[in-house]
Amino acid sequence: MNFRRYAALGALWAIPVAGMQVASGVGADPSASASSRAAASNAPPPPIVPYAWAGPYAWRLPNGYVWPADLEGCRSWQQVEAFSSQYKVNWPPLTHFRITPVRWTELVTAARGLRSTNIAGDDPGLSLAVPWLAQELHLRLNFAYDLFSAALLTIGFAASALGFLALTPALKPRLVAIAALAGVVLLAAHIGDVYVILGMLPLAFVFWVILAPRRRSLLLFIVVGAAVGLASPLANLVRSRSGTCLLLFVVVIWGLAHGTPTAPRLVGLGTVALCFMLSWAFCTKATVINQKHVFWHSVYIGLGYVSNGVVPIYGDEIAVAKVCTIDPNADFASPAYERVLRTATLDLIRTQPGLIGRNLLRKSMRVLLYLLLFGSVGWVSLLFRSLVWPVDTAFFAAMAINSAVGLLVIPSQQYLFGLITYAVLFSAMSFLLAFERSTNTLDACHMSWSKSPSRLDEALKVHGNCLRRTLPVAPQNKRLLKMDR
């Protein structure tokens, strides 16, 4: 009884941390440019707009920092300068949800029916969906963007809430889960931009993925598998690799759910694969914007997370200037551009391992803080229940993969929003499993994680329809509780 009371209060306090994050001022003015940051130093300010939002990590350049000579003759520098003129004309966007300067400029360019310039879009899905929505509904572009973002938040919250309500009839886990989901949606509204899809995709599908093996329903496996397979490539267009982690989550949890018959699980996984290939083929043919997501560019400037003389700040202009000193003819975000930064990053790993170690240490501490904060109820609940390997392994793998971008680049809320969402979902699910255990209640659906289908059938016969009720355990049936330990 004490556990349920304190865990519920802890969930209502610890999970919806969005208000605290908003009040803390995390997320600086996205319109802050590289010129304004460099003006504070003794170096001449470069006329360049940041290609990505550095946010709270756009620290001032250290005094005495000297820009490389002849930047005006560098091809990649010229290309980004040309893009900055468009940015100055189109900013501010007057939207209610946040959006980066480069993303808004791409939206305006796409809405005008112009082909992209030499600055390639790294996440073209937004540039396809929002202008199409504005054209079809005869809306202003800023209103179409707000409508698109609000639709993602609404669909994500509604789907996740319905999924959890289908998981359990118990009131307290439902209240904890709804509070947790509301906190995620509030934080997503604060973050904005394409990063919203990192959280809304798992928010919409994770509980339904868990529900399929608990109900042992072939139809549910097919429907959920089709939805996940179709949505993942579309999500990858909006934010690169945002749907890949959900696919891994499905494979792990359905692959390890040994208590469910093999045939429905294989049919579900096959449906995921088939629908993913169909959706991916459609996205490839329908997309006219090449998706070029730079990797080594982000890794290199991510070394500026700690103060040093090589990569002084987390800023895109630092990477562009580095390329200009080695290959002035390289196009921005081209393979040659990436090769230069790859070589520079590997050289730093060999010559300055201390710099790499300090970065990893600082970033790991921030990632660990997010895991403990947003997954706090889940970790505490884990002490009051046994491991459910399909569920816990899937969540651990998803959180590990989503934390990689924070370690490689910077552990900002935007980049780690997927990690935050999976941690909150883990808290809600872990609390549910601990609640079932602590109330001395046997949910026959919970037995679907067991490796013994014959004992599962026995539990179903004893307790009736597990889809509609959860019954107290008779003394002679308490031995069944040992099956998932």
Q: What is the Cα–Cα distance from 314 to 321, expressed in whole angstroms?
A: 13
3-state secondary structure of 450: coil
**Interval 183-217: pLDDT, tens:** 999 999 999 999 999 999 999 999 999 999 998 89
404 compared with 287, residue with greater pLDDT: 404
Confidence (pLDDT) at 60: 52
Confidence (pLDDT) at 85: 67
242 compared with 272, residue with greater pLDDT: 272
DSSP state of 73: G
- pLDDT at 116 > cutoff 80: no
- pLDDT at 293 > cutoff 60: yes
Q: pTM of the prediction?
A: 0.80
Q: What is the Cα–Cα distance from 240 to 189, expressed in whole angstroms?
A: 20
- pLDDT at 54 > cutoff 60: no
**Interval 416-426: pLDDT, tens:** 999 999 999 99
15 compared with 275, residue with greater pLDDT: 275
Q: What is the Cα–Cα distance from 35 to 44, expressed in whole angstroms?
A: 9
Please report which confidence band the pLDDT of residue 109 belongs to, taking 50, 70 and 90 as the band edges: confident
382 compared with 78, residue with greater pLDDT: 382
Confidence (pLDDT) at 423: 96
3-state secondary structure of 411: coil
Percentage of residues in the chain with pLDDT exceeding 90? 46
Confidence (pLDDT) at 38: 37
49 compared with 90, residue with greater pLDDT: 90
Confidence (pLDDT) at 135: 87
Which of 98-112, 208-222, 339-353, 438-452 is predicted least confidently?
A: 438-452
**What value does the mean pLDDT take over residues 21-37?**
37
Which residues span the domain enclosing 454? 442-484
Confidence (pLDDT) at 441: 56
DSSP 280-323: HHHHHHH--S-----SHHHHHHHGGGS--SSS-SS-HHHHHHHH
When divided into structural domains, the chain yields a total of 1
Has residue 463 been placed in a domain?
yes
CB 203 within 8 A of CB 421: yes
What are the φ and ψ backbone dihedral angles of 442, each rounded to 5 degrees?
Answer: -110, 105
Please report which confidence band the pLDDT of residue 87 belongs to, taking 50, 70 and 90 as the band edges: low
Q: At what angle do helices 417-438 and 171-191 cross, to 10 degrees?
A: 170
Confidence (pLDDT) at 314: 87
Confidence (pLDDT) at 86: 65
Mean pLDDT for all residues in the chain: 78
Which of 24-33, 56-65, 71-80, 123-132 is predicted least confidently?
A: 24-33
Whether a cis peptide bond, with omega within 30° of 0, leads into 92 is yes
CB 188 within 8 A of CB 199: yes
Has residue 480 been placed in a domain?
yes
CA distances from 250 to 28, 180, 202, 393, 435 (A): 36, 22, 10, 11, 24
Has residue 454 been placed in a domain?
yes
Q: What is the Cα–Cα distance from 204 to 243, expressed in whole angstroms?
A: 12
Which of 127-131, 210-214, 287-291, 479-483 is predicted least confidently?
A: 479-483
DSSP state of 96: S
Which of 43-47, 63-67, 89-93, 268-272 is predicted least confidently?
A: 43-47
Has residue 466 been placed in a domain?
yes
Confidence (pLDDT) at 463: 40
- pLDDT at 475 > cutoff 60: no
Facing residues of 127 across strands?
none
Closest CA to 408 of 313, 482, 303, 272: 303
Q: Which residues of 375-405 are buried (b: 16+ CB within 10 A; e: fewer)?
A: bbbbebbbebbeebbbbbbbbebbbebbbeb
DSSP state of 93: -
Q: Which two tokens stand for residue 15?
A: 């999970």
Has residue 70 been placed in a domain?
no
Residue carrying the six token digits 């005495």: 64
CA distances from 411 to 21, 257, 299, 314, 448 (A): 14, 33, 12, 12, 37
- pLDDT at 466 > cutoff 50: no
Confidence (pLDDT) at 252: 95
- pLDDT at 242 > cutoff 80: yes
Closest CA to 206 of 399, 422, 413, 371: 422
Percentage of residues in the chain with pLDDT exceeding 70? 72
